[in-house]
């Protein structure tokens, strides 16, 4: 399986990107048929945004440590930290998709002017960056995890990972600002 992915990183990236987009847009557009997913108790849905905020902070922290590790040429630590960040992202995404699939997209509880001129623009930028960085992220991770460490520098991993890192970081930071607007400030 690993060699199949290694030999088809672009196709695997494309496939994972399409699957992710279908899942995210299907959930946010409320296309998941009722009854397909089990419904958890209400306290679970109350907790998901807060757990996701923690997962976003964990991902950002792991990304920071991963960046520091690669600057020290500690490739194995870099790999562990970036996979930790990706794992936190996957956990975030699973919880987000479950929450949105059952409860629907959340409504902005604050003033209309803030919703129009702050919340919606931030949300649009957050979503756009997430959509753009996802294939870059998949590609960088697939290149790094399907090759021996000595071969990674022979691939476009670093060239792709740099913009993916920046876009991913900004998207996570904006997601935290959105969380604060939805669940703390208003």
Q: What percentage of the chain has pLDDT greater than the value 90?
A: 91
Are the C-beta atoms of residues 152 and 143 closer than 8 Å to each other? Answer: yes
Is 163 a residue whose pLDDT tops 90? yes
**129-144 pLDDT, tens digit each:** 999 999 999 999 999 9
Phi and psi at residue 176, to the nearest 5°: -70, -35
Confidence tier at 47 by pLDDT (50, 70, 90)? very high
Condensed to tens digits (0 to 9), the pLDDT of residues 20-35 reads 999 999 999 989 998 8
Question: What domains can you pick out in the chain, each with its CATH number?
Answer: 2-185 (1.20.120)
- Is residue 2 scored above 90 in pLDDT? no
pTM (2 decimals)? 0.92
Task: Quote the CA–CA distance of 142 and 10 in Å, as a whole number.
Answer: 9
Query: Can you tell me whether residue 37 is helix, strand or coil?
Result: coil
Exposed/middle/buried for 25, CB within 10 Å: 0-12, 13-18, 19+? exposed
């Amino acid at each position: 399986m690993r060699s199949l992915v290694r030999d088809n990183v672009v196709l695997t990236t494309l496939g994972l990107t399409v699957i992710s987009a279908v899942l995210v847009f299907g959930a946010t557009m409320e296309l998941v048929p009722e009854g397909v997913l089990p419904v958890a108790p209400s306290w679970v849905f109350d907790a998901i945004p807060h757990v996701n905020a923690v997962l976003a902070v964990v991902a950002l922290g792991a990304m920071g440590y991963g960046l520091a590790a690669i600057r020290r040429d500690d490739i194995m630590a870099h790999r562990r930290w970036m996979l930790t960040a990706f794992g936190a992202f996957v956990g975030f995404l699973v919880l987000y998709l479950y929450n949105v699939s059952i409860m629907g997209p959340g409504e902005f509880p604050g003033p209309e002017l803030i919703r129009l001129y702050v919340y919606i623009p931030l949300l649009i930028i957050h979503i756009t960056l997430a959509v753009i960085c996802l294939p870059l992220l998949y590609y960088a991770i697939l290149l790094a995890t399907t090759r021996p460490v000595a071969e990674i520098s022979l691939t476009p991993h670093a060239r792709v990972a740099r913009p993916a890192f920046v876009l991913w970081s900004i998207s996570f930071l904006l997601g935290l600002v959105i969380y604060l607007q939805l669940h703390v400030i208003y």
